[in-house]
Chain A
Amino acid sequence: QQQVKQSPQSLIVQKGGISIINCAYENTAFDYFPWYQQFPGKGPALLIAIRPDVSEKKEGRFTISFNKSAKQFSLHIMDSQPGDSATYFCAASRRGGADGLTFGKGTHLIIQP
């Protein structure tokens, strides 16, 4: 049972555009939702995270939108740059993140110059 579904699998965006990646979860016990960025040969790096008591969180060019009733959350990358080209993973956890993470399958993002 895939508990976190991520889409699209791959995404191509022009430089300066907005990249949008979506995730949906099934387990209502999840209460911590981070996004990770992974470059080839590197481990995942935490980008931004949200808890269900807020509907949006912004850090620089990265924004998470959260819809608790729909059990969906998304990552928006504003003014996308070639350096943002990477694989992005959404994840979910219980107990405020103290439990291990359940990851989506990832989105391979390419920003074209």
Chain B
Amino acid sequence: EAGVAQSPRYKIIEKRQSVAFWCNPISGHATLYWYQQILGQGPKLLIQFQNNGVVDDSQLPKDRFSAERLKGVDSTLKIQPAKLEDSAVYLCASSLGRTGAAFFGQGTRLTVV
């Protein structure tokens, strides 16, 4: 069974530029999450989708971050404009939604300079 796929693996951008991350969840997983992991900390939930609807985006900085999950499968997370403090690893995870077991991708390491 293929895992959660994310791209790119690494991205370096200048502050005020925009960036987008892509995630393909495990086949059949209805729930998709985006987490932000700052160096030395645990992941922090940004947004949760159930199929193509948003379940929880309470911690998403909506003035600069946006996410979508078209057709209930792949998802993209966008930052525009980026700030220095957005430097982090962005992790995508998916789950069946009923069992509670969430599986993570390898993440995208973003560096904002």
A residues at B contact (CB < 8 Å) = 4, 6, 32, 34, 36, 41-46, 49, 89, 91, 93, 96-106
Q: Is B25 an interface residue (CB 8 A)?
A: no
A-contact bits for B12-24, CB 8 A (1 contact / 0 none): 0000000000000
Interface size of B as a range? 20 to 34
Number of A-B pairs, beta carbon distance below 8 Å: 66
A44 touches B100 (CB 8 A): no
A97 touches B101 (CB 8 A): yes
In whole Å, how far is A112's beta carbon from the nearest beta carbon of chain B? 22
A-contact bits for B36-55, CB 8 A (1 contact / 0 none): 00001111110010000001
Q: For B95, what are the chain A residues with a Cβ–Cβ distance below 8 Å? A: 97-98
Shortest Cβ distance from B44 into A: residue: A103
B102 touches A46 (CB 8 A): yes
Q: Which B24-80 residues sit within 8 Å CB-CB of chain A?
A: 31, 33, 35, 40-45, 48, 55-56
In whole Å, how far is A98's beta carbon from the nearest beta carbon of chain B? 5
Q: A43-B105, A45-B104, A46-B102 are in contact. Are A98 and B97 (CB under 8 A)?
A: yes
